[in-house]
Chains A and B, each alone.
Chain A
Amino acid sequence: MGLSRAAVVAAMALSTCVAFLPVSAARAQQQQTHPIPQSIRLDHEEAIRQLTAVAQRKGRTGEIARKALEVFKAHIRREEEYILPPLTLAPAIAEGRVTPDMRWAIAMVDRIKADREVIFAEHTTITAWMNQLAEAARRAHQKDVLELAETLVADSLADTEVMEPAAIVIGEYLRAKLPPAQ
């Protein structure tokens, strides 16, 4: 049974797309291949849900939240792309299991190390927006918004103090334990 003309055209189009797959799309595939810990995924979803809800308010807090949301989402995308996936290997490594199919985490960790100051700068931007949001919330007597802003800054600190260093430790451990890639 031969291929229909439509199927051939579709296949050609697909091969063209794959050939010119932009880096960001390739990274998106990488993201799909390597998820992040479920607990952190839930935290991210909840943070975005709450900040989006504030962004829909009228007034100064809503205005600041709308701007902060863009920065926050961009940072979450970066985290989910290559900062947090190595952490999914922590339970297996803690049980003493290291296998060659974990090697992908080393490349991600190299990116974290290369981008550390950029990542830190994103945290400072988020903190600056949260400061503005907190100040506007105090003036508007919006205690829930103030608490959200404080929580998101604390999350930034957790990323700097724990998540990013932990991911790097995982990558460096794998580099030490696995034979060099062929």
Chain B
Amino acid sequence: MSRFLLALAAAIAGSALLAIPARAQNAQAGQQVFRAQCGICHDVAPGKNRIGPTLFGIVGRKAGSEAGFTYSDGNKNSGLTWDETTLDKYLADPRATIPGTKMTYAGVKNEQQRKDLIAYLATLH
């Protein structure tokens, strides 16, 4: 029994160790997506708003709440909080998810690229 538990614990620890580099790889790929598709409007430094709001701390933030950025009413009143699910939906089709958003971006249509991008955004804390 104790041998079984030991093996189980080792398997869990092993899979966790494997998951960390995979997530890091996703984030690295996501940074490339960010540079190619978001970088012209968004910064990732705290408090640095440009054409779009800073994406520092985006995961866990209430939509339309970054201080010093003027949002559309659609964004402010969306009631969304940015997490993996809401970001995935918004990034797939921004204007359909938040009608009236002023983000002039058609969205990331590739699902893997969206996952990678969200993994990168999650690192911005």
Contacts and interface: CB of A to CB of B under 8 A. Distances in A.
B40 A149 contact: yes
Contacts of A157: 51, 102, 104
Contact of B106 (A128, A132, A149, A156): A128
A174 interface: no
A126 B104 contact: yes
A156 B40 contact: no
A128 B36 CA distance: 9
Given A120-B95, A153-B51, A157-B51, A135 B104 contact: no
Contacts of B41: 127, 153
B25 interface: no
A123 B40 CA distance: 14
B102 A161 contact: yes
Interface in B28-61: 35-41, 51
A124 B102 contact: no
A105 interface: no
Contacts of B51: 150, 153-154, 157
**How would you classify the secondary structure of chain B's contact residues: helix, strand, loop or mixed?**
loop
Contacts of A128: 37, 105-106
B104 A160 contact: yes
A130 B40 contact: yes
Contacts of A124: 104-106
Contacts of B35: 135, 138
A68 B106 CA distance: 16
Nearest to B36: A135
Interface of A: 117, 120-121, 123-128, 130-132, 134-135, 138, 149-150, 153-154, 156-157, 160-161
Given A128-B105, A131-B40, A135-B35, 17 more contacts: A117-B95, A120-B104, A124-B104, A124-B105, A124-B106, A126-B104, A127-B105, A131-B36, A135-B36, A135-B39, A150-B40, A154-B51, A157-B51, A157-B102, A160-B102, A160-B104, A161-B70
